[in-house]
Structure 1
Amino acid sequence: MYKAVRARLCALVCGMRAARRDAGMVTSEYAMGIVAAVAFAVVLYKVVTSGPVSAELQNIVKDALSARM
């Protein structure tokens, strides 16, 4: 019985040590995700605000607002 309890306690302690080693990895993954999302948003903003795309979007909105039912 003592060996079983000791093995279980060792597994719990070793598991906690492993969890502490990985604690910073989650934060860095979130940071990389945020950087990627911001980079994608900047590219999308540049595309949408470019001349031809902006003009086409304005035409779409004007056509939608002037549509008769």
Structure 2
Amino acid sequence: MYGKTRARLRALVRRTRRDTGMVTSEYAMGIVAAVAFAVLLYEVVTSGQVRAELQGIVRRALSART
């Protein structure tokens, strides 16, 4: 009985070791995707037209009378 349990444990350890790199690679791909989205968003927000619109919104908000 002890031999069967030990064999199952070894098989479980082997399967677990095979999958350890998969989690790291998925995590890395998620970071790459997030950084790419952040760069794209930064480019859109800092473009001339969007910047002018945002400045207009801020000016109207600051000059509004309460």
TM-score when normalising by structure 1: 0.83
Aligned to 1:46: 43
Match of 2:16 in 1: 19
Q: What TM-score does the superposition give when structure 2 sets the normalisation length?
A: 0.86
In structure 2, stretches of 5+ residues that fail to align are none
Q: Which runs of 4+ in 1 moved over 6 A?
A: none
Match of 1:28 in 2: 25
1:56 corresponding residue in structure 2:
53
RMSD: 1.2
- List runs of 5+ in structure 1 lacking aligned partners: none
Q: What is the alpha-carbon distance in structure 1 between the residues aligned to residue 24 and residue 33 of structure 2? A: 14
